[in-house]
Structure 1
Amino acid sequence: MSHNNYLLDMQAKFNRLPFGQRLFSKVFAAKAPYFKTIKPFIETLEPNRCCVRLPKRKAVHNHIGTVHAIAVCNALEMAMGAMAEASIPKHLRWLPKGLNVNYVAKSTTDLIAEATVDADAWQPGDVNVTVKATDANGHVVVEGIIPLWVTEKPKK
């Protein structure tokens, strides 16, 4: 089943294996080794949307025992990067310009970091990716925007 996108095709190949999505998540996280520090799991990857599970465990706690804000941002950035790679048209490339988030509640459970963008947003210029992290009860704990700079790929 070809999706005409290298990352979605890779995910489909892994998913034919036992524990394929777990293996795919580990391989993707290894592309930027800092992602591995949160032990992420890609729950959903499709064009214009990605959800990454961030397990609540001691290694990602802050001083009050909740999930550290930077660990949450790490998961949001991973979700954004996977979503962008699975979505952007082949003639374009992307680069993050920042990370603008608001911490709206304590993170006391495992989290789902989600990145979404409208399909028609993939044009040269600024593209704002909506990100949010929700807890196991469906409450938003972090929300924001990751602005991307989208340009044409150079001609070879």
Structure 2
Amino acid sequence: MPQLYDLWKILTGAPVAGRLAGKRVFSLAFARKAPYFGSIHPLVNQLRPNYAEVVVPNRRSVHNHLGTVHAIALCNGLEMAMGALAEATIPADKRWIPKGMEVAYTAKATSDITCIAETDPGQWTADDPDLPVRVRGVRDDGTVVIEGVIRLWVTPKKR
């Protein structure tokens, strides 16, 4: 849905000081569309077709009993990144819905986590309705703490 991407470009197109404010406004608006996303206090850091980054801050409200970012908060960040990517990328004549998520927790999430979702352009025009989105979460030091795939079901819109 290009409307989401158009909003992103408008809000983040300002000079550097305004760009961060635009990212915050966009992130709040996007989290209101799917209110559960607000529970992780996300910041959409980058968005373009086939790529999205959402930062999940290392806050006490998303910690587990170990004092690290909880696995489900990480999954929430990955799903938000995937959703932003899907809305910014999908052709106007198609629709999507998530149908599954497979992830592996590979390290402790001890800092802010950048959740990244990626696809290849050809995936969106293929005849196969099963579309895997590659996702990963990265600590500030570059360590991958979670990685996997979110599978989408992409079909033509009904007329």
TM-score range normalised by the length of the shorter chain: over 0.9
Task: Report the TM-score, using the length of structure 1 for normalisation.
Answer: 0.94
Aligned length: 152
Q: Which has the higher helix share?
A: 2
- The residue number in structure 2 matching 1:37 is 39
Cα deviation 1:41-81 (Å, max 9, x = unaligned) = 00000000000001001000000101000000000000000
Alignment of 1:115-154 (within 5 A): 115-122=117-124, 123-124=126-127, 125-154=129-158
Q: Distance in 1 between matches of 2:81 and 2:119?
A: 12
Could you say which residue in structure 1 is the equivalent of 2:86? 84
Counterpart for residue 12 of structure 1: 9
Residue segments in structure 2 that go unaligned for 5+ positions in a row: none
**In terms of mean alpha carbon deviation, does 36-45 or 8-17 score higher?**
8-17
Letter paired with 1:6: Q
Give the alignment's Cα RMSD to 1 decimal: 1.2
Helix, strand or coil at the partner of 2:75: helix
Q: Gaps (5+ residues) in structure 1?
A: none
Once structures 1 and 2 are overlaid, which stretch shifts more, 66-75 or 119-128?
A: 119-128
1-side partners of 2:13 and 2:145: how far apart? Answer: 34
State the identity %: 49
